[in-house]
Amino acid sequence: MLPDALFPHARRLATASLKPLAAERCDTASLEAPRWTLDLSRQRLDAPAETALLEHGRAAGLEAALADLFSARTVNPSEDRPALHWALRAGTSLEAPECEAVRQSARPADAFAGAVHAGTVVAGDGAPFEAILHIGIGGSDFGPRLVDEALIGPKTSKTLRFCANLDPADFDLAIEGLDPARTLVVGVSKSFGTEETLYNLSRAREWLRRAIGERWIDHVALVTANRDRARAWLGADGGRVFDLPVSVGGRFSIWSAASLACACAAGPGTLASFRAGAARMDAHVLKAPFEENAAIRMALIDFWNTSVLGYPMRAVLAYARRLRLLPAYLQQLEMESNGKSVRPDGTSVSTATAPALWGGEGSIGQHSYHQWLHQGTHVIPAEFILALDPDADPEGSRALTAHALAQAEVLANGRSADEIRADEPGLAPAVAAQKVHAGGRPSSFLACRRFDAEALGALIALYEHRTYLAGRLWGVNSFDQWGVERGKTMAGRINTVLSEGSGADDPVTQALARRLGDIFRD
Ligand code: F6P
């Protein structure tokens, strides 16, 4: 749908100062969602533009899109599937049998994790597992890593390690100091065909086998939607295989058995609270009135900033040490979901789609790329995520909050030459000019007063819904990822070129392969 009605508003507001706009919208652009307060008043909008944007969202069928998702209709047309990740966190049984089956699918893994955590499922020598090594990549890695960083960390008696990269150094580092006789390897791959994961799993199998012989099989748990391949990989009776439902996409699988390693380390209670927080957000997104619906409002802002105002990026600034992996997690969620330019019917989209998403950890980023955000030539909307821990040192938390608020204020309001002259009379004009902050950089502000597993669940569910709804506004299928397949196929061909020394179609690849290939050939 072309947003024709929105462009006149964008032109009118293009150079408007953000401070008065934000002051006007302070009340109407602040929302309460489960566990999170959301402030959108510093976006480049005024009341008429906001009204037009909401009308655009209504006309684009965002409410129907949510109904489709929660009614298990096909929202992934290229793979002819519904997207049922939300069913994994439903608190009560679901009417549709396929949804209920998804809801139940994580139960065996939860029970197993509880037993590993409690020490009733033990290593081959009868002693409890001391370490869990998670192997997976992309959606089979980012989620569990985020949960570990945000909710577990050192608060567990079991060491939790992750290995994702094809670079052999990743596996070497992941097993550093671990005792294979006391390590459980959790392999997660929805397809069970991903090269990186199969490579690292085979190295893990050898590592276990060398230490404990054929008992290695009792030290492996696999999570997949492709049981046959996983069973064939195990190669013998035994070994544990848990289900990842086919209608749960990899980047939406954090709620599933894909988080088994985290549940083994922290106990299944953490995951239960995490899912409960997401279920609360699901209820909000399904029931809140259109204007008060946090996911709808955020998706509309994404559309407004990217497709109407033309900002090509968004910076996620997580003011919480525990959320420092959030930008990487969201990068996959949003860019793999909506980084597309063709609609499901094969026609090209008519506006820019998902922005480049990047970011990092506040306040650390303030001593790095915030200079670029404040005074660079690009205007990049920012998203502040302040996740407070009331048990943390109050002085540090207050200072962190002050920094987050200060950054958002300066990005929006800037600092003019007049202000600088008034504050620092006599300053050389050339220096004064360099101290000017243009301002006008929009931002959103998300804040949580007591960050915990439930709050993380609510936050991730909010981003999932926002991503799906933004995909609807852009007209793309958020649940497939054809763009990653070509590189995989090509890597297979080039692997052969490297071992044989010839055969590349592309002259640059051939020249590089010739220069590098001797490393791999005797
Ligand atoms: O990067 C492509 C991708 O297919 C992701 O969507 C997915 O999360 C990742 O690879 C891993 O896939 P799998 O879980 O099948 O190993």
CATH number at residue 233: 3.40.50.10490
Q: What is the band of 341 on the pLDDT scale with cuts at 50, 70, 90?
A: very high
Is the pLDDT at 520 greater than 90? The verdict is no
Closest by CA position to 185, among listed 157, 162, 155: 162
Q: Which residues lie with the beta carbon below 6 Å from any ligand 1 atom?
A: 137-140, 189-191, 194, 197, 250-251, 336, 481, 484
Q: Name the CA radius of gyration of the chain, rounded.
A: 25
Taking only the tens place, the pLDDT of each residue in 131-148 is 999 999 999 999 999 999
Q: Is residue 279 part of a domain?
A: no
Residue having the nearest C-alpha atom to atom 3 of ligand 1: 138
pLDDT computed for residue 13 by the predictor: 97
Residue having the nearest C-alpha atom to atom 2 of ligand 1: 484
Q: Is residue 76 part of a domain?
A: no
Taking only the tens place, the pLDDT of each residue in 425-469 is 999 999 999 999 999 999 999 999 999 999 999 999 999 999 999
Q: Which residues pair with 183 in a beta bridge?
A: 131
Q: Are residues 264 and 385 in the same domain?
A: no
Q: Are residues 233 and 380 in the same domain?
A: no
Q: What is the separation, in whole angstroms, between the first and last Cα of the chain?
A: 58
Residue where one domain finishes, among candidates 273, 301, 324: 273
Query: Is the four-CA dihedral 404, 409, 414, 419 of positive or negative sign?
Result: negative
Mean pLDDT for the stretch of residues 87-99:
96
Taking the centre of ligand 1 as the mean of its atom positions, its distance from the CA of residue 317, in whole angstroms, is: 26
Q: Is residue 433 part of a domain?
A: yes
Q: Are residues 89 and 66 in the same domain?
A: no
The number of folded domains in the chain is 3
Q: For residues 397 and 319, is the Cβ–Cβ distance under 8 A?
A: no
Q: Is the peptide bond before 253 cis (omega within 30 degrees of 0)?
A: no
Number of other residues whose CB lies within 10 A of the CB of residue 512? 15
Q: Are residues 140 and 217 in the same domain?
A: yes
Q: Which atom of ligand 1 is nearest to the CA of 481?
A: 6
Q: For residues 150 and 322, is the Cβ–Cβ distance under 8 A?
A: yes
Q: Are residues 383 and 462 in the same domain?
A: yes
Taking the centre of ligand 1 as the mean of its atom positions, its distance from the CA of residue 427, in whole angstroms, is: 56
**Lowest mean per-residue pLDDT among 74-78, 213-217, 441-445, 484-488:** 484-488
pLDDT computed for residue 25 by the predictor: 93
Mean pLDDT for the stretch of residues 212-231:
96
Mean pLDDT for the stretch of residues 34-56:
97
Is the pLDDT at 1 greater than 60? The verdict is no
Distance CA 339, CA 352 (A): 10
Give the distance from CA 456 to its chain's centroid: 12
Q: Is residue 33 part of a domain?
A: yes
pLDDT computed for residue 488 by the predictor: 85
Which amino acid appears at position 176 of this protein?
A: E
pLDDT computed for residue 522 by the predictor: 64
For helices 294-303 and 268-287, the axis angle rounded to 10 degrees is 70
pLDDT computed for residue 27 by the predictor: 86
Q: Are residues 467 and 489 in the same domain?
A: no
Residue having the nearest C-alpha atom to atom 13 of ligand 1: 189
Q: Is residue 80 part of a domain?
A: no
Is the pLDDT at 255 greater than 70? The verdict is yes
Q: Are residues 412 and 344 in the same domain?
A: yes
pLDDT computed for residue 517 by the predictor: 74
Residue 491 lies in domain: 482-521
Q: Are residues 468 and 490 in the same domain?
A: no
C-alpha to C-alpha distances, 332 to 317, 358, 406, 467, nearest whole angstrom = 16, 10, 29, 11
pLDDT computed for residue 290 by the predictor: 98
Q: Are residues 208 and 94 in the same domain?
A: yes
Whole-number percent of the chain with pLDDT over 90: 90
Taking only the tens place, the pLDDT of each residue in 465-496 is 999 999 999 999 999 999 998 888 889 899 98
Mean pLDDT for the stretch of residues 29-47:
97
Give the three-state DSSP class for 36.
Answer: strand
Mean pLDDT for the stretch of residues 396-401:
97
Q: Are residues 382 and 268 in the same domain?
A: no
Taking the centre of ligand 1 as the mean of its atom positions, its distance from the CA of residue 254, in whole angstroms, is: 13
Q: CB under 8 Å to 214, separation ≥6 — which residues?
A: none
Q: Are residues 298 and 431 in the same domain?
A: yes
pLDDT computed for residue 516 by the predictor: 86
Mean per-residue pLDDT of the chain: 96
Q: What is the band of 238 on the pLDDT scale with cuts at 50, 70, 90?
A: confident
Q: Which atom of ligand 1 is nearest to the CA of 139?
A: 8
Closest by CA position to 247, among listed 101, 439, 373, 365: 101
pTM: 0.97
Taking the centre of ligand 1 as the mean of its atom positions, its distance from the CA of residue 269, in whole angstroms, is: 27
Q: Are residues 220 and 303 in the same domain?
A: no
Q: Is residue 280 part of a domain?
A: no
Q: Which atom of ligand 1 is nearest to the CA of 225?
A: 15
